[in-house]
Amino acid sequence: MPEDNKPISQKEAAKLLGVTERIMQSWRFRGIGPRFIRMGVKCVRYKPLELTQYLESRTIDPAAQGPKGKVAKRKTNKLTDEDLDKMARELRGAAQKP
């Protein structure tokens, strides 16, 4: 990817991503693909940094894949210490009830 973040044409962006310009147009129409800058009715530009971020977001970790190539959902613990303390108090209170 180019070092500076100067906006580049759709043709250059497509070449960097390894897709056709038509695919880039289709992605924009469908609201998917990398972020872009609309400079006019027919003038679209892409920032190289946005293209890099798009590629990173589409990269799949083989270790995270489940059977048959499906991406396994990662379990995350989103409970805070406060949540855990509250749950512990509730459990202690429930255990003390006859």
3-state SS, residue 46? strand
* pLDDT at residue number 10: 94
**3-state DSSP percent of the chain in helix, strand and coil, to 5:** 50, 10, 40
CB–CB of 24/35 below 8 Å?
A: no
- H helices of the chain, in order, are 10-17, 21-30, 48-58, 81-96
| pTM as predicted | 0.59
Helices and strands, number each (H, E), in the chain: 4, 3
Contacts for 79 with CB less than 8 Å, ≥ 6 apart: 87
* pLDDT at residue number 11: 95
Q: 1-60 maps to which CATH number?
A: 1.10.10
37-41, 48-52, 70-74, 83-87: which range is least confident on average? Answer: 70-74
* pLDDT at residue number 70: 63
* pLDDT at residue number 42: 86
Tokens 């270790």 -> residue? 63
